[in-house]
């Protein structure tokens, strides 16, 4: 996908060390929204109890943030090709979604991208995580957290080293930010608390809608899509479907334990967004009628 170069005036970026921190605070907001389960939780052996705890909105106290000025945003984005690509994508995502919120008259705040280092990060309100957990979104600080080393793991899982597979990951996490900004995440968390037996099913809907939003972003930038991009994205979506991850881990496929949807569901969600280029098409995942 041909993206324009990043513009640090249009994005919030930091690179936390092991103790957290960064150049620019994302702002103080409460943790009254759904913290999204990690994209490759099953693939990397993340304890499901940890995910459930986060989904329940339990705030863990991380280490104090380090002082400002560790790395400039320009330095973070230029540190390696993956970081540059992520910053390019974040610029495009902001430029795509902010006007949509403005047209709808809904308040929007840009997320902060934390390309954290040293394999562990402490968030501002969602506890700590290691690189083994994969990319995730923390609503407490509006943060998208990525250890770019994950992309090498994704390439092995999906069987493709193409850029669109990586862009799909960050666009998916951005989709969770959209859910946070619209208030949907808070509504879903409330539903989960009132009906715990439906918690996983509701989470699957959240993940599929985030996949759909990732496709919408690509669809709205269709002129920048290159030959083979969609196939790369679909292979990535398929490789992290719950059924595929369980099968590859030698586990029995149990739909009751799904948290992200099957490979087919994830591919269908991404395709729905891309072909429609309309975020309204993603409302289907929360049509309870």
30-34, 41-45, 60-64: segment of lowest average pLDDT: 30-34
Of 82, 68, 73, nearest to 14 by C-alpha is 73
Per-residue model confidence (pLDDT) at position 176: 95
Per-residue model confidence (pLDDT) at position 161: 60
206-210, 235-239, 259-263: segment of lowest average pLDDT: 235-239
**Long-range CB pairs of 92-97, under 8 A, 24+ apart, other chains included:** 92/3, 92/4, 92/217, 92/221, 93/170, 93/171, 93/174, 93/217, 94/10, 94/11, 95/10, 96/217, 96/220, 96/221, 97/174, 97/178, 97/217
- Compute the distance between CA of residue 137 and CA of residue 7 in angstroms, rounded to an integer: 22
Q: pLDDT for 118-164, tens place per residue?
A: 788 888 888 888 887 788 999 999 999 998 777 777 667 655 566 88
pLDDT for residue 29 is more than 90: no
Class of residue 104 by CB neighbours under 10 A (exposed 0-12, middle 13-18, buried 19+): exposed
Please tell me the total number of residues recorded for the chain in this structure.
Answer: 289
State mean pLDDT over 279-283.
95
The answer for residues whose C-beta is within 8 angstroms of residue 47's C-beta and 6 or more apart is none
- pTM, two decimals, is 0.79
What count of other Cβ atoms lies within 10 Å of the Cβ of residue 30? 11
Q: How confident is the model at residue 219 (pLDDT cuts 50, 70, 90)?
A: very high
Two tokens, residue 159:
């069987």
User: What is the percentage of the chain residues whose pLDDT exceeds 70?
Assistant: 73
**Token pair 């320009």 in the structure block, residue:** 74
Per-residue model confidence (pLDDT) at position 171: 95
Per-residue model confidence (pLDDT) at position 251: 73
Per-residue model confidence (pLDDT) at position 207: 93
The answer for residues whose C-beta is within 8 angstroms of residue 227's C-beta and 6 or more apart is none
pLDDT for residue 84 is more than 70: yes
């Amino acid at each position: 996908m041909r993206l324009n170069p990043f513009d640090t005036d249009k994005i919030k970026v930091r690179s936390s060390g092991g103790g957290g921190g960064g150049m620019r605070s994302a702002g103080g907001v409460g943790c009254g929204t759904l913290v999204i389960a990690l994209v490759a939780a099953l693939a990397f052996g993340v304890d499901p109890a940890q995910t459930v705890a986060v989904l329940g909105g339990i705030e863990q106290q991380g280490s104090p943030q380090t002082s400002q000025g560790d790395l400039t945003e320009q330095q973070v984005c230029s540190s390696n090709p993956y970081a540059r690509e992520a910053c390019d994508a974040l610029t495009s995502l902001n430029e795509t979604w902010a006007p949509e919120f403005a047209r709808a008259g809904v308040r929007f705040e840009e997320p902060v991208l934390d390309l954290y280092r040293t394999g562990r990060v402490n968030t501002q309100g969602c506890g700590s995580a290691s690189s083994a957990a994969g990319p995730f979104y923390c609503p407490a600080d509006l943060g998208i957290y990525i250890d770019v080393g994950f992309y090498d793991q994704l390439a092995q899982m999906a069987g493709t080293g193409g850029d669109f597979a990586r862009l799909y990951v960050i666009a998916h996490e951005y989709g969770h930010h959209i859910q946070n900004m619209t208030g949907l995440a808070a509504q879903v968390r409330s539903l989960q608390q009132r009906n715990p037996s439906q918690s996983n099913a509701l989470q699957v809907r959240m993940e599929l809608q985030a996949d759909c939003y990732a496709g919408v972003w690509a669809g709205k930038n269709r002129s920048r899509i290159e030959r083979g991009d969609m196939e790369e994205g679909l292979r990535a979506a398929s490789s992290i479907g719950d059924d595929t991850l369980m099968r590859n881990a030698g586990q029995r496929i149990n739909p009751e334990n799904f948290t992200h949807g099957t490979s087919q569901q994830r591919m269908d969600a991404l395709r729905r967004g891309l072909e429609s280029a309309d975020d309204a098409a993603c409302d289907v995942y929360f049509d309870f009628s």
